[in-house]
Structure 1
């Protein structure tokens, strides 16, 4: 009799454990489900607008509202060096919303940190956006769960914000000294000379267009970093003949320093 009961009890125990594990997993999923709609209210597409061009809007990357809600954080490389104002071209952002409510707002560049590839824009007019909260706990830790929202391949897939999830897989140097001089490039030399710093390596795939996306805590929505696709790879992966596919982010403390005093 005892021999017959053991398999039954064992199976029941397995079911109980599986059910308990599922219960433990639910709050994590529910946290992201509740957080994403709030994040999307603050995420914008960054680009230029020229009415005589087809299409008028040229998508360049992702940004998100910070500070007083009139400031937009993004990567410096997302912002074009020249905007042809004499040809009525404008630097703009596409506001959150569906195709019926989505609008285009002109922005002005107000701060740039070229050493960390960060930039801040200001909405020229109209209402502010809900600003995202920047994490003030000193940075993310390895193994920490993260998510980021942006416009992967926005030119092809459209202005629908997309969320990806992963973890912080490593805190890694922005540039690594090379043993051979031929492996050095100007960007890496400048980075090492200006003071190397650590970036987040992400166990999540970011795509062209995700540059400037907020990396956030799935439960609290606090911003931990800013996705960077171009700047990091030119130094971190300078000896590779083709990109690795690894995604990186700039820690949010550098953005906090950049927006300090802006309004």
Structure 2
């Protein structure tokens, strides 16, 4: 009996991580990205999801999210912070972008917000548990952060060989010309509006990727008549150069 107790003491303990606690911490850093027109009705137009990084005055989202703002428009780029019964908006400006990986970095003034910690996407493995928090269908169901949990299904090339040149378009050619880098393929539910959501470790909350609903699908699934419902994320290591001083 004594030997059994000693053996049990030497075995690793199961994880006691509090996933709801992780979600609560992450939600403080997740924002809605959109535009605001003072005279508009409604004044806020939802575009996608973002999350706070760095010094607390930086927000990451997908570059294609910002492309929805027409040039010369009176719409002002803002981030919206979910509140009790109302949305609080803060003006932002674009400070850096990486169109080849569909990433954009925004900056805002004033009090900093809690920032998420970036993990190492090179260490991500197939079958690893992951979670994401964002605003699925945010323009329709409201600015309420929603969390989904799943696994990394595969580390897969961002582009697939196509059967004929007719299936290539100019956008696909440009994306593939920067290199067929790997992205994270996910067994996880995501919707339009989740673009820019942080994909993170459920235990530590460290960000492993940035959800992408348009850019990767347009490259990988160009050949499909009926695109799949598979979700993808840009590895977070591609984000780190944008944050370098």
1:90-239 equivalences in 2 (<5 Å)? 90-100=76-86, 102-123=87-108, 125-136=109-120, 138-239=122-223
Is the Cα–Cα contact under 8 Å of residues 31 and 50 in structure 2 kept in the other structure? yes
Which one has the largest radius of gyration?
A: 1
Q: CA deviation at 1:82?
A: 4.5
Is the Cα–Cα contact under 8 Å of residues 43 and 96 in structure 1 kept in the other structure? no
Is the Cα–Cα contact under 8 Å of residues 52 and 116 in structure 2 kept in the other structure? yes
Is the Cα–Cα contact under 8 Å of residues 83 and 91 in structure 1 kept in the other structure? no
Q: Report the Cα distance in structure 2 between the residues aligned to 1:42 and 1:112, rounded to whole angstroms.
A: 20
Q: Report the Cα distance in structure 1 between the residues aligned to 2:73 and 2:137, rounded to whole angstroms.
A: 29
Q: Report the Cα distance in structure 1 between the residues aligned to 2:145 and 2:33, rounded to whole angstroms.
A: 12
Q: State the TM-score, normalizing by the size of structure 1.
A: 0.84
For structure 2, the 5+ residue unaligned runs are 1-12
Is the Cα–Cα contact under 8 Å of residues 41 and 96 in structure 1 kept in the other structure? no
Q: Report the Cα distance in structure 1 between the residues aligned to 2:102 and 2:140, rounded to whole angstroms.
A: 25
Is the Cα–Cα contact under 8 Å of residues 49 and 91 in structure 1 kept in the other structure? yes
Q: Match of 2:92, SS?
A: strand
- Structure 1 residues 86 and 232: CA distance shift in structure 2, 3 A: closer
Question: Greater helix percent: which structure?
Answer: 1
The answer to whether structure 1 residue 34 and structure 2 residue 18 are counterparts is no
User: After alignment, is 72-81 or 109-118 more displaced?
Assistant: 72-81
Q: CA deviation at 1:50?
A: 0.2
Q: Match of 2:241, SS?
A: helix
Is the Cα–Cα contact under 8 Å of residues 139 and 253 in structure 1 kept in the other structure? no
> Which among 253, 256, 260 is matched to residue 237 of structure 2?
253
For structure 1, the 5+ residue unaligned runs are 1-22
Q: Report the Cα distance in structure 2 between the residues aligned to 1:59 and 1:243, rounded to whole angstroms.
A: 24
Q: Report the Cα distance in structure 1 between the residues aligned to 2:180 and 2:212, rounded to whole angstroms.
A: 16
Q: Report the Cα distance in structure 2 between the residues aligned to 1:243 and 1:51, rounded to whole angstroms.
A: 38
Describe the superposition over 1:71-97 as per-residue Cα deviations: whole angstroms up to 9, x where unpaired. Answer: 00000001136456673x210000243
Is the Cα–Cα contact under 8 Å of residues 148 and 188 in structure 2 kept in the other structure? yes
Q: Report the Cα distance in structure 2 between the residues aligned to 1:133 and 1:49, rounded to whole angstroms.
A: 29
> Could you say what the CA RMSD is over the residues aligned between the two structures, in angstroms?
1.8
The answer to whether structure 1 residue 79 and structure 2 residue 43 are counterparts is no
Q: Report the Cα distance in structure 2 between the residues aligned to 1:74 and 1:66, rounded to whole angstroms.
A: 11
Is the Cα–Cα contact under 8 Å of residues 135 and 222 in structure 1 kept in the other structure? yes
Q: Report the Cα distance in structure 1 between the residues aligned to 2:227 and 2:112, rounded to whole angstroms.
A: 37
